[in-house]
A = this chain, B = another copy of it.
């Protein structure tokens, strides 16, 4: 595909399903000189369900400004069809902040993809409740902030984090951040926090899933990337994967093999989020990957 991020835009739509939506959307874009390069749609039901649409389109011959296109789409198309919608321009990279504790593997994976341009984001800050990873993060030219957190200062620490993030980040990634965020904090970032959980959810929610997996004697271990909601490990799942294990694998072996799964699953989920491929619907996701 000979497309450029500089002239790529994306449209996400959720609305009540009824005939004519795709015709209306594609007509509108066609008449504004846009070239559609990807189109995915999904109906939750053939009759009377929800309709989901994602388009990727190229704007070099757009006949109005991006702003004008957005405004016109809202009036001409989105309103009559009662759409929840968003048009975003890939030239404006989303700003991703990362929260991490001591395990570095998920964070390193993201930073490495960021540094080679594979993950098209800006990273305003990495926040950790430990000082350990400062050098590794700063080596990528990324700001590192240590915000210590414990039972006694939880609210203050979250306030400090919010201060660092407010207006600076568009979404957050918990790259094995081992503290539970308060419902208040989560409420400020609705479907804007991606967590990597080290199990195949809903199996082994909660603490130490590799120990749980070993106790149960499963033959596959997994990892799950999901949006964070007020209910721990219960948010909409974006991506999952598994790997084969056997009686030969001790719990440390599961942790080691699991790290590889976590890295891959989180990297895919973040990429899809950045490319506006994920639409949340209730407690589930539509992923146009």
Contacts and interface: CB of A to CB of B under 8 A. Distances in A.
Nearest to A239: B219
Interface in A233-251: 236-242, 246-248, 250
A67 interface: no
Interface in A206-243: 216-220, 222, 236-242
Interface in A44-98: 45-47, 52, 58
Interface of chain A, main secondary structure: mixed
Interface string A19-59: 11011001101100111111111110111000010000010
Nearest to A289: B246
A116 B260 CA distance: 14
A46 B1 contact: yes
Contacts of A202: 203-204, 216, 218
Interface residues on A, range: 35 or more
Nearest to A204: B202
B46 A19 contact: no
Contacts of A222: 220
Given A239-B219, A247-B286, A285-B217, A19 B34 contact: yes
Contact of A264 (B27, B34, B217, B260): B260
Contact of A23 (B3, B23, B42): B23
A36 B39 CA distance: 14
B22 A26 contact: yes
A1 B37 contact: no
A241 B222 CA distance: 12
Contacts of A23: 23, 26-27, 29-30
A52 B248 CA distance: 11
A283 interface: yes
Contact of A104 (B105, B116, B284): B116
A227 to B, nearest CB: 11
A160 interface: no
Contacts of A1: 43, 45-46, 250
Contacts of A242: 200, 220, 242
Nearest to A222: B220
Contacts of A185: none
Interface of A: 1-3, 19-20, 22-23, 26-27, 29-30, 33-43, 45-47, 52, 58, 104-105, 108, 112, 116, 118, 139, 200-204, 216-220, 222, 236-242, 246-248, 250, 256, 260, 264, 267, 283-287
